[in-house]
């Protein structure tokens, strides 16, 4: 071992500390670069055998061979990355939903002095003014204007919601593009990392870039990933692989055959749907396919309720014009997309049917009946405004012209007055006008009866007296239905429907041996509550439909018999046609107030979730930064330390130089 080794050791030190200065400089340069992880030179002493693996024995009594700057490592915690990416998914999901809902909230603009509730109030007030002065042209002009303002506002709100839905759909397409861009870059970076690290180097900055891309993808969708032996990362989106090595499975946006007018993302290679339970994509899809359509549906229900109920009364009234107009609908259209004032009334307000009979200019009773709808508990979701209750009889022709095309007849049965034998011939002109002709056996056909089918799925039953009975419909909380077919009947004495139920028809279907499902819209519609049946004793008992911990509906029954009312019998009784339908109805103002306040609660909820996941993300980002971020003071310290070490190593060289000088120039035989 000679002095040249000491020189060699010192040169190694110079190189190592110069590298440390370079690394500190790189760190300082990237102090504000997003996603950058600080780097450290890994300094290791070099052992006697030239490796950094040396034994105690080999070192005994000897110096080593200096320092080796083995690697430049980045300082990063992969577990923190994993946690942070999970909360990023939640943050962007709720952020996307709350942004969409907040925008929808602005469309309704309530409570305010010029929101839709005010326009509804003006509409009803307009009718009251017509009641006060049926002769007055001014009052009629006022109701025409109030109606036009209301209908155009409803149409505008509906079209704004539709536009918003289309915008969300475009966002889905854009998200597809972003997934492809990030995945493609990630695959390229994968390849580079593999190449660099194959030769034993550390691809620190490439890894930082890859982490940024993984962050991006995690914010978009539900992403899982794993680093492979070749240092590439395999990425899954949902359950489908997105990136393997340098291969990308690109996604593309195609028309969704199950969702008219909307697109869905699929993987180009096999056509599999892109599925995700979190991330911005989930948030956008939730808003596009659940929240906005829900609002559109409610707006349509409101409009359809107005159209149906006002029209049903308006068609039977008379105008003050000459000859008196009658049989006119007040609204044209079917829902919020096309609700409008009948043009015939807009041009001739005298034709507005304020009177109940012809040539009665001072009669505002029909207008009063229409104005009373404001107070009717069953306008929205009810079948027209006729306040239909079980067994109610409606005179033939009363509903003529109403709700053209709104429904079809599912079944008709009945008998003629006096129990005469004969046959019924029923024809439907397709416009909702139903003609029923009874022909007694061996007799001449009776005059046709005009009636109207009120809604789809509801049985219209012809009963003695040539009147029409509209199906077994129940208003909330008040009706009595006979639930046992024979013997001492068990009677339902009360039905209470929860406030969360949307107006409309509900069906009771069997669920297993001892259960009932309450379904919305039809017998195959979504389940909104389930009842678990048990045997009920004599007297009052309650059957409750639950959704989680909430009670959505209860039916109170009274069993007068000495024997218990078995679960099987309850199921049979409540699912039999005639007993299996509940009708939830609502007054217009509370219904509208519900739309607004439920939307408000949804917005507040989504914002709250977005805020809390934002907090979580921020916290985890802080931890990540705490591990990986650059602290300038720290780098200055390192720089300083490296500088000193460098200077010291240089001094070692000078010292050895002196020693060599002594050895070579001042010693020896020639002196």
Partner 1 sequence: MTNIRVTDHWRVIKQTEYLNAVSGRLDKIQEQLSTGRQIQRASDDPAGARLALQYRDTIDFEAQMRRNLDNGTAFMNITESTLDSSTEALQRLRELTVQAANSTLAQEERDGIAKEVDQLIQHLAQLGNATFGDAYIFSGHKTTTPAFQVTGNPPTAVTFQGDTGQRLHRISRQDTVAVNVDGQNTFGSMFTDLIALRDNLNAGAPPTTIQASIGTIDSALDRVILARAGVGARLNRFEASQATSQQTDINLQQLRSTIEDVDLPSAITKLQGQQNALQAALGAIGRTANLTLMDFMR
Q: Using CB under 8 A, which residues numbered 572 to 601 contact partner 1? A: 589-590, 592-594, 596-601
135 to 174, contacts with partner 1 by CB under 8 A?
135-136
| Residue among 359 and 413 whose Cβ is closer to partner 1 | 359
Residue 417 has what DSSP assignment? G
Task: Check binding of 121 to partner 1 (CB under 8 A).
Answer: yes
Q: Which is nearer to partner 1, 71 or 77 (CB)?
A: 77
Residue 70: CB minimum distance to partner 1, A: 24
Distance CA 116, CA 216 (A): 40
CB of 589 to partner 1, least distance (A): 5
Task: Tell me the chain's radius of gyration from C-alpha atoms.
Answer: 40
* Residue 326, Ramachandran bin (φ over 0: left; ψ between -120 and 50: alpha; else beta): beta
What is the DSSP code string of 533-570?
Answer: ---B-SEEEEEEEEETTEEEEEEEEEE-SSS-B-HHHH
Restricted to residues 301-330, the positions that interact with partner 1 (CB under 8 A) are 320
Q: What share of the chain is helix, strand, coil (3-state, %, to 5)?
A: 45, 20, 35
Among 26, 44, 76, 118, binds partner 1 (CB under 8 A): 118
Using CB under 8 A, which of the segments 42-50, 130-138, 261-269, 566-574 binds partner 1? 130-138
Binding segment for partner 1 (CB under 8 A), chosen from 15-23, 104-112, 183-191, 391-399, is 104-112
**Minimum CB distance to partner 1, residue 400 (Å):** 23
The pattern of x and - marking residues 604 through 633 that bind partner 1 according to CB under 8 A reads x--x----------x--xxx-xxx-xxxxx
Nearer to partner 1, 329 or 630 (CB): 630
Q: Which is nearer to partner 1, 36 or 545 (CB)?
A: 36
* Residue of 221, 305, 349, 364 that binds partner 1 (CB under 8 A): 364
Can you tell me the distance from the alpha carbon of 13 to that of 653, in angstroms, rounded to the nearest whole number? 10
Per CB under 8 A, 102 contacts partner 1: yes
Give, rounded to a whole angstrom, the gap between the first and last alpha carbons of the chain: 26
Cα angle: 484, vertex 486, 488; to 5 degrees? 80
**Shortest reach from residue 126's CB to partner 1, in Å:** 9
| Nearest-angstrom CA–CA distance, 173 and 205 | 31
3-class secondary-structure state, position 121: helix
CA angle 123, 128, 133 (to 5 degrees): 125
- Which residue, 374 or 556, has its beta carbon nearer to partner 1? 374
**Which residues in 20-39 contact partner 1 (CB under 8 A)?**
31-34, 36
Burial class (CB in 10 A: 0-12, 13-18, 19+), 161: buried
Site for partner 1 in 328-357 (CB under 8 A): 355, 357
Nearer Cβ to partner 1 (34/200): 34
| 264 φ, ψ (degrees, to nearest 5) | -135, 160
Query: Which residue number, 142 or 569, has a Cβ lying nearer to partner 1?
Result: 142
Q: Which stretch binds partner 1 (CB under 8 A): 122-130, 142-150, 221-229, 410-418?
A: 122-130
Question: 506 pairs with which residues across the strands?
Answer: 520, 582
Does the N-terminal peptide bond of residue 45 adopt cis geometry, omega within 30 degrees of 0?
no
Give per-residue burial for 429-449: e unless 16+ CB within 10 Å, then b: eeebbbebebeeeeeeebeeb
Q: Which lies closer to partner 1 via its Cβ, residue 599 or residue 652?
A: 599
Q: Which of 374, 467, 480, 532 binds partner 1 (CB under 8 A)?
A: 374
Question: According to CB under 8 A, which one of 124, 383, 438, 565 is a site residue for partner 1?
Answer: 124
List the interface residues with partner 1, window 232-261 (CB under 8 A). Answer: none
Quote the CA–CA distance of 536 and 404 in Å, as a whole number. 45
């Amino acid at each position: 071992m000679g002095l040249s080794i000491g020189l060699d050791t010192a040169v190694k030190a110079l190189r190592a500390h110069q590298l440390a200065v370079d690394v500190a400089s790189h760190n300082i340069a990237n102090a504000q670069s997003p996603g950058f992880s600080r780097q450290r030179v890994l300094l290791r002493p070099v052992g006697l055998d030239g490796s950094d693996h040396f034994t105690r024995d080999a070192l005994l009594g000897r110096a080593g061979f200096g320092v080796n700057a083995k690697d430049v490592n980045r300082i990063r915690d992969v577990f923190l990355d994993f946690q942070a990416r999970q909360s990023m998914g939640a943050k962007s999901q709720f952020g996307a939903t709350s942004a969409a809902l907040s925008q929808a909230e602005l469309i309704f603009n309530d409570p305010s002095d010029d929101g839709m509730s005010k326009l509804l109030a003006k509409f009803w007030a307009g009718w009251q003014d017509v009641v006060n002065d049926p002769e007055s042209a001014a009052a009629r002009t006022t109701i025409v204007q109030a109606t036009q303002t209301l209908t155009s506002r409803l149409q505008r709100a509906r079209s704004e919601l539709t536009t918003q839905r289309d915008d969300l759909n475009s966002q889905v397409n854009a998200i597809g593009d972003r997934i492809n861009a990030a995945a493609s870059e990630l695959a390229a970076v994968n390849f580079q990392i593999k190449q660099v690290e194959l030769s034993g180097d550390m691809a620190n900055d490439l890894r930082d870039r890859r982490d940024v891309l993984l962050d991006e993808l995690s914010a978009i969708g539900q992403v899982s990933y794993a680093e492979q032996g070749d240092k590439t990362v395999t990425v899954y989106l949902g359950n489908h692989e997105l990136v393997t090595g340098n291969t990308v499975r690109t996604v593309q946006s195609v028309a969704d055959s199950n969702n008219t007018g909307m697109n869905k993302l699929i993987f180009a290679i096999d056509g599999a749907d892109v599925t995700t339970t979190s991330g911005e994509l989930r948030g956008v899809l939730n808003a596009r396919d659940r929240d906005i359509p829900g609002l559109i549906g409610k707006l349509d229900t409101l409009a359809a309720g107005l159209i149906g109920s006002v029209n049903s009364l308006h068609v039977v009234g008379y105008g003050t014009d000459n000859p008196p107009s009658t049989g006119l609908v007040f609204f044209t259209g079917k829902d919020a997309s096309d609700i409008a004032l009948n043009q015939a009334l807009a041009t001739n307000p005298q034709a507005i049917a304020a009177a109940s009979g012809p040539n009665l200019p001072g009669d505002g009773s029909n207008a009063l009946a229409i104005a009373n709808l404001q107070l009717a508990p069953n306008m929205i979701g009810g079948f027209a405004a006729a306040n239909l209750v079980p067994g109610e009889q409606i005179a033939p022709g009363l509903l003529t012209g109403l709700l053209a095309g709104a429904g079809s007849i599912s079944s008709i049965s009945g008998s003629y007055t006096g129990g005469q034998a004969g046959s019924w011939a029923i024809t439907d002109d397709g416009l909702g006008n139903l003609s029923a002709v009874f022909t007694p056996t061996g007799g001449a056909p009776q005059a046709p009866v005009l009636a109207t089918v009120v809604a789809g799925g509801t049985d219209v039953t012809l009963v003695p007296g040539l009147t029409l009975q509209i199906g077994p419909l129940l208003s909330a909380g008040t009706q009595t239905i006979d639930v046992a077919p024979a013997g001492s009947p068990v009677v339902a004495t009360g039905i209470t429907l929860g406030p969360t139920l949307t107006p409309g028809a509900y069906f009771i279907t069997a669920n297993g041996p001892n259960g009932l499902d309450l379904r919305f819209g039809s017998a195959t519609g979504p389940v909104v509550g389930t009842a678990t049946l048990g045997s009920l004793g004599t007297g009052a008992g309650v059957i409750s439909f639950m959704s989680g911990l909430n009670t959505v509906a209860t039916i109170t029954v009274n069993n007068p018999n000495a024997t218990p009312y078995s679960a099987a019998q309850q199921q049979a009784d409540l699912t039999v046609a005639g007993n299996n339908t509940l009708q939830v109805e609502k007054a217009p103002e509370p219904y509208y107030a519900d739309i607004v306040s439920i939307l408000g609660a949804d917005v507040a909820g989504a914002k709250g979730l977005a805020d809390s996941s934002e907090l979580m993300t921020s916290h985890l980002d802080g931890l990540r930064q705490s591990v990986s971020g650059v602290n300038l003071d720290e780098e200055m310290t390192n720089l300083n330390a490296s500088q000193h070490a460098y200077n010291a190593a240089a001094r070692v060289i000078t010292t050895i130089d002196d020693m060599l000088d002594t050895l070579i120039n001042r010693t020896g035989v020639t002196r």
